[in-house]
Structure 1
Amino acid sequence: MFHLYYFYIILAFIALVSFFYYILNSYYARVYNDDDNKIKGNIKDVTAVIPVYNENPEIFESVIKSLINQCGSLIVVGDSSYEPYRSITEKFNGRFIYLKKHSGKRLALVEGIKNVKTRYVLFVDSDTLVPEKATLSMLSKFKRNVGGVGVNINIKNDGSGIAYASEFIERVREVIFRAMSYHGSILVADGRCAMYLTEAVRPLLLSNDFMNKKILGKKTMLGDDIQITSYLIKSGYKVVKDYNVTVQTEPQRDFKRFFRQQIRWSRNGWYYFFKNISNGTARRAGWFYSFDLLYMYIIPIAGLILVSLRLIFYLFVFRHLDYDAYYMMRFIMHDIIPIARHHFINEFYYIHILTSAVTDIFGTVGEGFFILTVMGRIPKKRLRTLAYGALGLLIMFIANIYGLFTFWRQGSWLTR
């Protein structure tokens, strides 16, 4: 029975760490100001690289139109996709590179970077509309040894539950990444739209490690964006987000695809969690990056332990206790106090009650403050977004657990 004390210590520790995680991220997200000391850039120093594979031609043309006045040159890499993408690209004076064999986004990025002559390269997905003056705003963030700049992501609201769930998760990430930006570097610059110092990322993209990444001897399809971000931080650069630029993207078509997306992202995350901890990248990025990284990837395990322990305690130790507030007070007044002379039982029950109070109070306060911060980033239909967001977080939690035990199974090399 004595060993159960250690379980209580773990529960209390998790509650306290969670409290500080939510409070610190909420606080730094609120005080972060990315408008300080802006520097001016020249759009002629930017080349946009757009990989395209069977994209809707109308959407693709809209993406091209959104970029033609925001960069010095434009390169489209057709991944086994030729017309009408070539004609649309050349219509707007862009350069089209055709790859006959479908080889995936990574090879398209490699072929693109080979032809970039400018100081900066902007990678944009073929379905991502870039708002006006986005590149100028992103250029202003290249200061204090910044090697990469991501943007804020908005999920198009098509009225589906998936759209609401995805939007809530993006706003959670926004709060966390704002806090991380305050301290220097974020975990990942989303690959849907990100700008980099060309010579900072070129060595990675032209390396064998980028094109032939292997885990346990098997060729894998890790996320290119998280690999680039990790590489830059390890190389001594900072990676931040420009929150003045928001790009809109489509939600997944159904929850099955959403779940698969979360599994894919969780596998990428777990791989780079282990890698960034072991190779010193997290240490180089600073204490807050390390703290958030550890918490974000330990919390699924810690949460599972928390739920399991509470279930075990309730079923086998305290199932006779009713957690109704009235009964708890009655229990303390009429049962605990009279049997105080029974030292072990008295101590054990008090520890249980105290630990439950700590986990519940600190958990409620920390999570509540964090949720309020997230909801402040949602302009409308907040309750619906929160409701579907809770479902989305549950799916993400399950995917994260599954991803931990299957992180080496990164899927097909051609998975996009």
Structure 2
Amino acid sequence: MMLDIALYLLLSTIISISTIMYILFTLPLAFTYKPKSSQSDIKRSDITVLIPVYNEDVSVFKEVINSVKREDLKFVVVGDGCDDPYRKIVESAGGLFIKLPKNGGKRNAIREGFKYVKTPYVLLLDSDTILPENSVEKLASKLSDDVVAVSPEISVLPGKSKIAYHVSEMMQRLREISYRALGKFKSIVSLNGQCILVKTDVIRPLIESEEFNSVKLWRFSTILGDDRQITNYIYSRGYKATVTKDVVVKTKAPDSISGLLKQMVRWYRSNNFFLIKEISDGTLFRKGVFYMFTVLYWYTLPLITLANYGLYTEITMRHIMMHWRFFVKAITTNPIRFFQYMIISKIDSTFDIQSSPVNSMAHHFHHYILHSIDPIGIMLFKSNKLSVDIIVFHYFYVFHTLVGEVSTIASAIMILTILVYTRKVRGFALGLLAFPLMFMADIFAVMTLWRQKKWSGRS
């Protein structure tokens, strides 16, 4: 058995088993989880809303400010290198506007705005996130002695691109289901940075620290992932955080596919950075076994899948190079018949392959290409003798095939569950583009992870 074939079988089996386990645990946990609520004694006067703004759509920003005013909350807006028309909108609504001389990023804006937060609780709100009515009481009801931070779930508003909107919506629903499952164990990957209600004194030391200004990992640093950092800091202090489905806030989808991809790459760069940091500082292990499995599955699956496809391609090309004469002769003799055989033989193993010289050559090629990952197929082609190793690999190959089929069925159930859950048949097909786009974005993010010491933020 060649090493590349054995490794291919092993990796594809790991992918299939991990997918089955993830779906098997996530779906039941997600739809049986009911977070506890309590009568909150938090008053509206105990909360300050902090909104950093930079180059935001003015009409969207007006809606955000109106939603905050409707909730009768005091609010501070930090203009990150910008002034009017944001200042006029804020001050006319009774809020405080702080202008920073130049664009320094969301983290810097939050840090400066925190100087004006004197209340026990702070609501960190993005400049494009609209609060629904009576959302503050519902969010506050999820807080307790150990749960000191809460975020709502996210609903995506359509932008200029339908594809970007449906893909963004699919990504949010996937994340929502996973977060509900994690919520069963009071472990979440990250609070939703668009809207976070948190106890001020718990995170103030972090916000005022140099670490918040630029997160460091060895000799690298990032200004991305402020919500992930806040979440990890809360858990490191012995507290917990949660995301509630009782409140859903709206945020706008990117206006183009390129904008969506940039957003996805930014997210994956941040997530991969913090995954490595969580492993190195031990945070990953403090959030529980299910959390550890979930995040490792999320962020290593694209890499393992890429390696797996690379191995399959190498195995196929190696056998093409070894038997290229058969390949060339079959193609030149009857290319239509040859490719027809190559396709049909994958479906019908009883296909008559002895009826012509072309089929005979295709039969030879079939053994070395299509069945190159089947140890029995390879060995029986060379010898009629079976060793213990061949028998073991044969049964492992059968197991590999079985779990692959089960994984496919489980994935189909997951997709159908999302369809039923969202009840949005229209645009669902476009939403499925989220899977290849997430795969490409994660791979690109990993490939460019170490090329720069500091990354640009949302701006």
RCO higher in structure (CA 8 A, sep ≥6): 1
Looking at structure 1, the residues matched to 258 and 420 of structure 2 have their Cα atoms a distance apart, in angstroms, of 29
1:38 corresponds to which residue? 38
The aligned amino acid for 2:242 is V
**Mapping 1:270-309, distance limit 5 Å:** 270-309=272-311
Decide whether the 8 Å contact of 2:155 with 2:249 is kept in 1. Answer: yes
The aligned amino acid for 2:445 is G
Which residue of 250, 262, 265 corresponds with 1:263?
Answer: 265
Helix, strand or coil: the match of 1:68?
A: helix
Looking at structure 1, the residues matched to 296 and 45 of structure 2 have their Cα atoms a distance apart, in angstroms, of 40
How many residue pairs match? The answer is 409
Change over 3 Å in CA distance of 1:276–1:107 after alignment to 2:
same
**Mapping 1:272-351, distance limit 5 Å:** 272-316=274-318, 324-327=346-349, 342-344=385-387, 347=391, 350-351=394-395
Change over 3 Å in CA distance of 1:37–1:253 after alignment to 2:
closer
1:395 corresponds to which residue? 437
Helix, strand or coil: the match of 2:432?
A: helix
Is 1:60 the equivalent of 2:82? no
Change over 3 Å in CA distance of 1:84–1:12 after alignment to 2:
closer
The aligned amino acid for 1:56 is D
Change over 3 Å in CA distance of 1:128–1:152 after alignment to 2:
same
Decide whether the 8 Å contact of 1:121 with 1:195 is kept in 2. Answer: yes
Task: Give the gaps of 5 or more residues in structure 2.
Answer: 324-341, 353-366
1:195 corresponds to which residue? 197
Looking at structure 1, the residues matched to 11 and 222 of structure 2 have their Cα atoms a distance apart, in angstroms, of 36
Decide whether the 8 Å contact of 1:268 with 1:407 is kept in 2. Answer: no
Looking at structure 1, the residues matched to 32 and 220 of structure 2 have their Cα atoms a distance apart, in angstroms, of 44
Question: Displacement of 1:398 after TM fit?
Answer: 1.3
Change over 3 Å in CA distance of 1:81–1:9 after alignment to 2:
closer
Question: Displacement of 1:311 after TM fit?
Answer: 3.3
Decide whether the 8 Å contact of 1:11 with 1:355 is kept in 2. Answer: no
Change over 3 Å in CA distance of 1:152–1:208 after alignment to 2:
same
2:449 corresponds to which residue? 407
Question: Displacement of 1:329 after TM fit?
Answer: 9.5
Give percent identity, aligned residues only.
30
Helix, strand or coil: the match of 2:130?
A: coil
Question: Displacement of 1:94 after TM fit?
Answer: 1.5
Helix, strand or coil: the match of 1:343?
A: coil
Is 1:113 the equivalent of 2:155? no
Question: Displacement of 1:253 after TM fit?
Answer: 1.7
1:160 corresponds to which residue? 162
Change over 3 Å in CA distance of 1:325–1:57 after alignment to 2:
closer
Looking at structure 2, the residues matched to 121 and 174 of structure 1 have their Cα atoms a distance apart, in angstroms, of 24
2:100 corresponds to which residue? 99
Looking at structure 2, the residues matched to 363 and 407 of structure 1 have their Cα atoms a distance apart, in angstroms, of 30
Looking at structure 2, the residues matched to 163 and 58 of structure 1 have their Cα atoms a distance apart, in angstroms, of 19
1:142 corresponds to which residue? 143
Greater Cα radius of gyration, structure 1 or 2: 2
Task: Give the gaps of 5 or more residues in structure 1.
Answer: none
Moved more, 311-320 or 3-12: 311-320
**CA deviation digits over 1:21-71, x for unaligned, max 9?**
12211111111112x343323222211011122333332222111012425
Decide whether the 8 Å contact of 1:8 with 1:351 is kept in 2. Answer: no
**CA deviation digits over 1:286-315, x for unaligned, max 9?**
111111111111111111123233334445
Helix, strand or coil: the match of 1:245?
A: strand
Looking at structure 2, the residues matched to 215 and 228 of structure 1 have their Cα atoms a distance apart, in angstroms, of 16
**CA deviation digits over 1:342-397, x for unaligned, max 9?**
21596388347514522421211221222223223312235x32x22332221211
**CA deviation digits over 1:82-137, x for unaligned, max 9?**
22322322222222222122222111111121211112111111121110111111
The aligned amino acid for 2:244 is D
Moved more, 299-308 or 286-295: 299-308
**CA deviation digits over 1:131-178, x for unaligned, max 9?**
011111111111251122112111113561111111111111111111
Which residue of 241, 244, 247 corresponds with 1:242?
Answer: 244
Moved more, 136-145 or 319-328: 319-328
Helix, strand or coil: the match of 1:149?
A: strand
Moved more, 209-218 or 76-85: 209-218
Helix, strand or coil: the match of 2:158?
A: coil
TM-score in terms of structure 1 length: 0.89
Change over 3 Å in CA distance of 1:134–1:304 after alignment to 2:
same
Moved more, 217-226 or 40-49: 217-226
2:417 corresponds to which residue? 373
Question: Displacement of 1:80 after TM fit?
Answer: 2.3
Change over 3 Å in CA distance of 1:349–1:99 after alignment to 2:
closer
Helix, strand or coil: the match of 1:248?
A: strand
